[in-house]
Chains A and B, each alone.
Chain A
Amino acid sequence: QQQVKQSPQSLIVQKGGISIINCAYENTAFDYFPWYQQFPGKGPALLIAIRPDVSEKKEGRFTISFNKSAKQFSLHIMDSQPGDSATYFCAAPISSGSARQLTFGSGTQLTVLP
């Protein structure tokens, strides 16, 4: 079974600090690698995604770094804010059956202290 390994499971950061979440994947379809953000009681929502032909993508305080050779990608949250407190999921696309599917990591619960 396709694996996407995400770490850490939980993360506590002071306001203004940098939050870093890592993901490693196995063989995958050549597509895009997203990060989803989930607040309690809500469904996951796309935060940022990267194509595998670039090594970094930045959107505001959020940056994805992608290392194709190592099969790893990470999410960096700069100047972390209490409003960033949520669960973050990475995902990698696989080809299976009649469509590409996203396999999700186990999630990282981020708490940003005020």
Chain B
Amino acid sequence: NAGVTQTPKFRILKIGQSMTLQCTQDMNHNYMYWYRQDPGMGLKLIYYSVGAGITDKGEVPNGYNVSRSTTEDFPLRLELAAPSQTSVYFCASRRSQGVSGANVLTFGAGSRLTVL
């Protein structure tokens, strides 16, 4: 059981380049999330999805796009990379939004992106 898998772990981009951060989970979770983590700033929600075919913006969506064609995969797309997008990106998932001791966010190990 791999949980949430993110690729790549590290990437350096030049300004204006595009790339996709991959995220896949094998827990059959309906809800998936993308966060970015900047030093001293905690985790900011970029986009989330409540199921295949449904996505919604979070707190900081500008410069990013997502898609959710399957339950397992939730890729994050950067179209025109900017230095402000230098960050560590975390994908997370959970089964539902109900109150339950087992219904917790499971995070991937993160993808560190540097835009020069």
Contacts and interface: CB of A to CB of B under 8 A. Distances in A.
Interface of A: 1, 4, 6, 9, 31-32, 34, 36, 41-46, 49, 51, 89, 97-107
A64 to B, nearest CB: 13
Nearest to A34: B104
B41 A98 contact: no
A65 B99 CA distance: 19
Interface residues of B, number: 28
Contact of A42 (B48, B99, B101, B110): B110
A44 B110 CA distance: 9
B50 A43 contact: no
Interface string B1-40: 0001000000000000000000000000001010100001
B28 to A, nearest CB: 17
B110 A1 contact: no
Given A49-B104, A51-B99, A89-B42, A44 B90 contact: yes
25 contacts: A4-B42, A42-B109, A43-B4, A43-B92, A43-B107, A43-B108, A44-B90, A44-B107, A45-B107, A46-B104, A89-B42, A97-B48, A97-B57, A98-B56, A99-B31, A99-B50, A101-B33, A101-B45, A101-B48, A101-B58, A103-B45, A103-B59, A104-B35, A104-B43, A107-B42
B54 A98 contact: yes
Contacts, number: 63
* Of listed A32, A45, A100, residue having the most chain B CB within 10 A: A100
Nearest to A44: B107
B48 A31 contact: no
A11 to B, nearest CB: 14
Nearest to A2: B59
User: Which of the listed residues B42, B48, B57, B105 has the most CB atoms from chain A within 10 Å of its own CB?
Assistant: B42
